[in-house]
A and B are shown apart, each in its own frame.
Chain A
Amino acid sequence: MILTLPLLFFAGTLSPGPLPPPLLVSSASLRLDITEAVEAEISNFDTLFETWVATYRAAEDDAGREAALENRPTADDAVKNLFGLVETEPAGDGAFKALTWIMRAYTSEGMSPSAQALSLLAEHHIESEQLKDVAMNLSRGTADMVPGLLTIAEKSPHHDVQGCAILSAGIILGKDPLTRERGVKLLEKVIADYSDVTHYDGRLELGKKATGELYVMRNLQIGMTVPEIEAEDVDGVAFKLSDYRGKVILLDFWGDW
């Protein structure tokens, strides 16, 4: 760019019309286009993964499926290669595609940087009472946080840190149908053993929070029949949600604020 700027200026002073195209073409041809390489990398992995899915589906019993899970291909190599490509042209469309793919990728570590940080916190700062906040804030975290949270739950000497870590792990696991049962068990443990724990100056009671999350897991999942609501309307007239059966209902929890 440093070299082309004066040239552009010069070209501009010679002819006031549109810029001559050769300059643009040459600058475009200098730019590396990684899109094709990125797509090839992703498609290689997709093929590998689809082959594995077929093997998994073909397994006849739980033992076979467990064995197949062991061989689930990881995206380690693909992620490494894609990062390499991104470095050559980080601002291009190819890089965008690569980076968004990497964020969803399943690596053998199964760990994002924040999960790695959590695991180091669990290893080296397990005595800290501040892990209560760390654990609580991870209730909206991702599945790769769960091992770190469970380590904290197991090893922290603080009852309230343990409770928050189990609660967050339970909420995360409960979101995925595949791990929901484990999530349910953890939330039941929170209700049984950690109902006395509060957070945010008492505004959050762990037992109540776990009860609410369990209710959503058991009653409010997509595909479930909606629970009845029976209450007064704003004018004080009682009615039921099921009065509207037969219609599509947009149920809207709202407030005028």
Chain B
Amino acid sequence: MYPHERSLVSEYASRPFAIIGVNSDKDREVLKERILEESITWRSFWNGGSTSGPISTQWNVSGWPTLYLIDHEGVIRYKDPLRGDLLEEALKELVPLAEKALETGGR
């Protein structure tokens, strides 16, 4: 996933798009090193050091990665399976809507 995520981050740099992670690794310090090694620039919630941490438990996540795509108004627009082409298409639809809302709001 990392290369694809990195390419999304660079493709949508300076546009209204963000990847937010919920990370379920065990060791924070090891993870911080890996984040540097893999150039992971997006921010992640810490799920308490376990795949059965509070956030993934409440969200009933049982497979990793699990993805949700949320629009600029906070509405869930797509859920897994959300891979490759479908994700690209969804972003092409949603990011311009977010930009439009920004323009209208700025008037």
Contact A231 B16, beta carbon cutoff 8 Å = no
B20-78 with Cβ < 8 A to chain A = 20-25, 28, 31-32, 34-35, 38, 42-47, 51, 54-61, 64-78
CA distance A221 to B23 in the complex (A): 22
- Judge whether A234 is part of the interface by a CB distance below 8 angstroms: yes
Query: Of A19-27, A57-65, A154-162, A246-254, which binds chain B?
Result: A246-254
Determine how close the nearest CB of chain B comes to the CB of A26; give it in whole angstroms.
41
Contact A251 B20, beta carbon cutoff 8 Å = yes
Query: Which size class do B's interface residues fall under?
Result: 35 or more
CA distance A250 to B77 in the complex (A): 10
CA distance A251 to B65 in the complex (A): 10
Q: Given that A212-B57, A222-B79 are contacting pairs, would A254 and B68 also be in contact in the complex, using a CB cutoff of 8 Å?
A: no
Determine how close the nearest CB of chain B comes to the CB of A230; give it in whole angstroms.
9
Determine how close the nearest CB of chain A comes to the CB of B107; give it in whole angstroms.
15
Which of chain A's residues has its CB closest to B62's CB?
A212
Contact B34 A256, beta carbon cutoff 8 Å = yes
Determine how close the nearest CB of chain A comes to the CB of B26; give it in whole angstroms.
9
Partner of B60, one of A212, A231, A248, A252: A212
Determine how close the nearest CB of chain A comes to the CB of B100; give it in whole angstroms.
12
Chain B residues with CB under 8 A of A18: none
Query: Of A29-37, A75-83, A127-135, A236-244, which binds chain B?
Result: A236-244
- Judge whether B13 is part of the interface by a CB distance below 8 angstroms: no
Determine how close the nearest CB of chain A comes to the CB of B13; give it in whole angstroms.
12
Contact A245 B24, beta carbon cutoff 8 Å = no
Contact A234 B19, beta carbon cutoff 8 Å = no
CA distance A224 to B78 in the complex (A): 11
- Judge whether B86 is part of the interface by a CB distance below 8 angstroms: no
For A208, A231, A250, A252, the residue with the greatest tally of chain B CB atoms inside 10 Å of its CB is A250
* Main secondary structure on A side of the interface with B: mixed
- Number of A residues near B (Cβ < 8 Å) is 37
Which of chain B's residues has its CB closest to A212's CB?
B60
Chain B residues with CB under 8 A of A224: 75-76
Contact B16 A247, beta carbon cutoff 8 Å = yes
Q: Given that A234-B31, A246-B72, A250-B67 are contacting pairs, would A222 and B45 also be in contact in the complex, using a CB cutoff of 8 Å?
A: no
CA distance A27 to B42 in the complex (A): 59
- Judge whether A28 is part of the interface by a CB distance below 8 angstroms: no
Partner of A233, one of B46, B60, B70: B46
Which of chain A's residues has its CB closest to B16's CB?
A247
Determine how close the nearest CB of chain B comes to the CB of A219; give it in whole angstroms.
9
CA distance A32 to B83 in the complex (A): 38
Chain B residues with CB under 8 A of A225: 73-76
CA distance A231 to B56 in the complex (A): 12
Determine how close the nearest CB of chain B comes to the CB of A201; give it in whole angstroms.
15
Contact B20 A250, beta carbon cutoff 8 Å = yes
- Judge whether A67 is part of the interface by a CB distance below 8 angstroms: no
For B5, B28, B46, B76, the residue with the greatest tally of chain A CB atoms inside 10 Å of its CB is B76
Beyond A231-B45, A250-B70, 17 extra complex contacts between A and B, CB < 8 Å: A216-B60, A222-B76, A234-B23, A234-B28, A246-B102, A248-B18, A248-B70, A248-B91, A250-B5, A250-B8, A250-B20, A251-B20, A252-B42, A252-B67, A253-B22, A254-B22, A254-B23
- Which B residues contact A (CB, under 8 angstroms)? 1, 5, 8, 16-25, 28, 31-32, 34-35, 38, 42-47, 51, 54-61, 64-79, 87, 91, 94-95, 98, 101-102
